[in-house]
Amino acid sequence: MQKEKIEGIRKQFFVDLETAGNEAELFDLEKKYLGRKSEFTEIMKSLGSLSAEDKKVVGPLANGARKEISDAIEVKRTALRNKGFDFESEKIDITIPGNKRGAGHLNPISLIVNDIQDIFTAMGFEVSDGPEIETEFYNFDALNIPEHHPARDMQDTFWLKQAAKNKKNGSEERLSMRSQTSAAQVKYMEQHTPPFKIIVPGKVFRSEATDSTHEHTFYQFESLVVGENINVGNLKFVAQEFFSLLFKQDVKVRLRPSYFPFVEPGFEFDITCTVCHGKGCKACRYGGWLELGGAGMVNQNVFEAAGYPRGKYTGFAWGFGLERLAMMKYKIDDVRLFHSGDLRFIRQF
Ligand SMILES: [Zn+2]
């Protein structure tokens, strides 16, 4: 008797299935034939009360019909979903070339910084960094810059309204936007014992009027080497090696006596003109040399500020503005272009 009942349900289901025209109707159908309150569920539940012999016949029959119904519903569901979907027109042609997206350009300053870091790390230098907001101690005092030096004037330095507490004696200290990457020197020395070789590329700030060769925000690069027998010859060699690699030509360095509070002796340094190789041209005003930056042997007062015993170490420091270098390398005639945000400028690199 159960056998006929199952067959009846099965037949009726396939008749009903033909009439289900959308997914909602199909869902109702599923509920009716396979749901908790369906006749099928009742039959499954009653299997327990059947004789062992009947169970052997009815069990597989019921399970088989149930699976058949459930499969038929899935097939119909897929068919309903795909109805009205044109596979041919929706096909994606993966052989059509895509749209090219702009990858962006590096600012020439970034290009120069990358070059500098590559050259110096190959020579065994460590790349160091420091904060752009610095205390008066690290930016001036520790670098042996006298209290009334004009560099500390409002006209030259951006001072902040906020002050900082000195960690050692608790006194209030003025804060400024660092006016030179040298501000990172003593900080590094406080945490490291010589010998070491570092470079510090970074952004610096000066309170000054801008024109084609002056900016209030620009990049500097600083190199510091400290050990027990470092001398001016080492400085000259490293500088010459660096510029020769950077400009991919034989570059000579010339030192001229000069004064900076943080070095003794101090020098201005020039390099042979990269345009005429020292013969004389318009770029070097026919002198064969280009002025580039400042250098010198680290003043013992600076070592003392870092906590090193006076006279134990010697070292050299030198640095220059990166904009000037980029202007030379890429023949750019206005320093303000670097921070202009003008895409016509950036896209050339
Ligand atoms: Zn020249």
Asked if residue 125 and residue 158 are part of one domain, the reply reads yes
Task: Determine the average pLDDT of the residues in 192-220.
Answer: 90
CB-CB contact of 93 with 35 (8 Å): no
CB-CB contact of 22 with 29 (8 Å): no
In the predicted structure, residue 93 carries a pLDDT above the cut 90 = no
Q: Express each pLDDT in 122-140 by its tens digit.
A: 999 999 988 999 988 888 8
CA of 259 from ligand 1 middle (Å) equals 26
Q: Express each pLDDT in 223-258 by its tens digit.
A: 999 999 999 999 999 999 999 999 999 999 999 999
Domain presence at residue 331: yes
Average pLDDT, the chain: 89
Asked if residue 275 and residue 199 are part of one domain, the reply reads yes
Domain presence at residue 126: yes
| Dist. CA 326–CA 335, nearest whole Å | 9
How many distinct structural domains can be found in the chain? 2
3-state secondary structure of 203: strand
CA of 283 from ligand 1 middle (Å) equals 5
CA of 254 from ligand 1 middle (Å) equals 15
pLDDT of the residue at 114: 94
CA of 215 from ligand 1 middle (Å) equals 25
Asked if residue 18 and residue 149 are part of one domain, the reply reads no
Asked if residue 86 and residue 113 are part of one domain, the reply reads no
pLDDT of the residue at 61: 87
Asked if residue 185 and residue 54 are part of one domain, the reply reads no
| Dist. CA 53–CA 43, nearest whole Å | 16
Asked if residue 295 and residue 154 are part of one domain, the reply reads yes
Domain presence at residue 224: yes
* Domain span holding position 67: 2-90
Asked if residue 222 and residue 73 are part of one domain, the reply reads no
Asked if residue 170 and residue 312 are part of one domain, the reply reads yes
Domain presence at residue 99: no
Task: Determine the average pLDDT of the residues in 30-35.
Answer: 89
Q: Express each pLDDT in 149-169 by its tens digit.
A: 877 777 688 999 988 887 777
pLDDT of the residue at 310: 95
Domain presence at residue 118: yes
In the predicted structure, residue 62 carries a pLDDT above the cut 90 = no
Q: Terminal CA-to-CA distance of the chain, rounded, Å? A: 88
| Dist. CA 228–CA 315, nearest whole Å | 8
Reference 318, options 247, 244, 227, 237; nearest CA is 237
Asked if residue 121 and residue 22 are part of one domain, the reply reads no
Reference 127, options 140, 110, 114; nearest CA is 114
Higher model confidence: residue 117 or residue 183?
A: 117
Higher model confidence: residue 164 or residue 197?
A: 197
Asked if residue 116 and residue 85 are part of one domain, the reply reads no
Asked if residue 123 and residue 32 are part of one domain, the reply reads no
CATH code, domain carrying 271: 3.30.930.10
